[in-house]
Amino acid sequence: MVNQSIRVEESQSRKNKPDSSELVFGRSFTDHMFVMDYSSGLGWHNPSIIPYQNLSIDPAAMIFHYGQSVFEGLKAFRTQDGDIQLFRPEKNLQRLNHSNERLVIPPIDEEFGLEAIKQLVELDKEWVPDAEGTSLYIRPFIISNEPYLGVAPSGHYKFIIIMSPVGSYYKEGINPVKIAVENKYVRAVKGGTGEAKTGGNYASSLKAQEIVEKEGYSQVLWLDGLEKKYIEEVGSMNVFFKINGEVVTPALNGSILAGITRDSVLELLRHWDISVTERRVSMQELYEAHQDGTLEEAFGSGTAAVISPIGELYWDGNHLNINEGKTGELSKKIYDTITGIQYGKIKDPFNWVVKVGKKTEVK
């Protein structure tokens, strides 16, 4: 597989790039996309970079009916020197295969997947914006496309990578959000697909999200599906709490997505010798810590915002105001460090950064 070369068909025309001050997440796409097919006999084959274009798919394709699909999300950053770099992309490919395993989708060669990302970014490198806080969002995904209405794993798949330039998440500096704890709807449960990055998890979250947004909260904080007591994660972020000087985050229990930003935060805190524990965290514990004044900081972690401080948690009639609704010192320090590494402004002692343009030869 790694020995396959990627066929490249360059676009004859180039689109206008949106102004970097007007970038909206996930609305405009670059000139090219990567596509690779899978069929039972051939395995993954025919890897190609082609002009960004519509897919032509049979209405009976399984993706439209039984949702067998997985995806990833990562970013390419432009450094002050004009270099382009990815942040821990091998982790995304690992996680993609982990999701594949749960969704009964054949694994892809991770090294080759990374090579595909690099070649695509390299070809569309002019799309990596250079304004402060901007980046190129990369979306690898796999869809089942056998035209068959039986409920069974598909015999055909498409692995696709598309890319979208994104603006700064924080237009006016890092800023806390209000989050509502969800008591009725459930995102995932042990034995389900919560650990995988698959469409169904997000489809099921829309209802609760719609309700809390109307009430002025930006996202939902999910509780465990069994007892609705323990913190799981936010819509598209993992969560951390600083209680009495120590940091805690829910342990990966089988229903939480293993965030790559989460993993980076853990490494960073350990590197700094700050006490951090992965364990069960109940809403009751947070409530009590808030009452006795030891809930010092709370923040979400994810590729989109990196760190998103939580200024208010709404739970069951209680408005828990955290750190006076301001960004905590530790939250800010983590944010500055990770984004500093991503944009090449500070040293990367962890080897997280992967340069684009330094190709491994693929023949």
Ligand X SMILES: Cc1ncc(COP(=O)(O)O)c(C=O)c1O
Q: Applying CB under 6 A, which residues contact ligand X? A: 73, 233, 236-238, 257, 259-262, 301-303
- By CB atoms closer than 10 A (0-12, 13-18, 19+), residue 249 is buried
What lies within 8 Å, CB to CB, of 47 at 6+ separation is 4, 5, 6, 7, 34, 35, 36, 112, 116
- Which two tokens mark 259? 């965030």
Q: How far is the C-alpha of 107 from the C-alpha of 93, rounded, in Å?
A: 10
Point out which residues pair with 307 in neighbouring strands: 301
Tell me: does residue 69 bind a second copy (CB under 8 A). Answer: yes
Partner whose footprint covers residue 303, from ligand X, a second copy, none (CB < 5 to 8 Å by kind) = ligand X
Interaction between residue 140 and a second copy (CB under 8 A):
no
Cβ proximity to a second copy, 18 vs 67, nearer residue: 67
Binds 262: which of ligand X, a second copy, none (CB < 5-8 Å by kind):
ligand X
> Which of ligand X, a second copy, none has residue 198 at its interface (CB below 5 to 8 Å by kind)?
a second copy
Among 2, 42, 60, 131, binds a second copy (CB under 8 A): 60
What, of ligand X, a second copy, none, does residue 71 touch, CB below 5 to 8 Å by kind?
a second copy
The binder of a second copy chosen from 3, 22, 151, 316 (CB under 8 A) = 151
Considering the complex, state which of residue 38 and residue 87 has its C-beta at the smaller distance from ligand X. 87
Q: Are 199 and 260 within 8 A, CB to CB?
A: no
98 binds, among ligand X, a second copy, none (CB under 5 to 8 A by kind): none
Strands 219-223, 177-181: pairing is: parallel
Q: How far is the CB of 303 from ligand X (least distance, A)?
A: 3
Minimum distance, C-beta of residue 73 to ligand X, in the bound complex (Å): 5
Contact pattern for a second copy over residues 156 through 195, marking x by CB under 8 A: ----x-x-x-------------------xxxxxxxxxx--
Dist CA 359 CA 235 (whole Å): 35
Query: Contacts with a second copy in 202-221 (CB under 8 A)?
Result: 202-207, 209-210
Supply the minimum distance, in Å, between the C-beta of residue 262 and ligand X: 6
**Alpha carbon 55 to chain centroid distance?**
24
Instruction: Confirm or reject binding of residue 26 to a second copy (CB under 8 A).
Output: yes
Residue entry with tokens 């330094």: 358
Q: Give 133 or 235: the residue with its C-beta nearer to a second copy.
A: 235
DSSP H/E element including 71: strand 69-71
Of residues 30-49, which lie at the interface with a second copy (CB under 8 A)?
33
Q: Between 47 and 342, whose beta carbon lies closer to ligand X?
A: 342
Cα–Cα nearest to 174, from 303, 266, 305 = 305
Distance CA 283, CA 39 (A): 46
Given the DSSP bridges, would you call strands 276-279 and 246-250 parallel, antiparallel or unpaired?
parallel
Residue 12 lies near a second copy (rule: CB under 8 A): no
Q: What angle do CA 63, 92, 127 make, to 5 degrees?
A: 85
Which of residues 44 and 352 has its CB atom nearest to a second copy in the complex? 44
x/- track of binding to a second copy for residues 87-126 (CB under 8 A): ---------------xxx----------------------
Closest to 39 in 3D by CA, of 157, 120, 216: 157
Pairing of strands 7-8, 43-51: parallel
Which of 115, 88, 113 minimizes the C-alpha distance to 258? 88
* CB neighbour class for 78 (10 Å; exposed up to 12, middle 13-18, buried from 19): buried
CB of 261 to ligand X, least distance (A): 3
DSSP-based three-state secondary structure for 221: strand
Partner that binds at residue 260, options a second copy, ligand X, none, CB closer than 5 to 8 Å by kind: ligand X
The one of a second copy, ligand X, none whose footprint includes residue 78, by CB under 5 to 8 A per kind, is none
**Contacts to a second copy by CB under 8 A:** 25-27, 29, 33, 52-60, 63-69, 71, 102-104, 137, 139, 141, 143, 147-153, 160, 162, 164, 184-193, 198-207, 209-210, 225-226, 228, 235-236
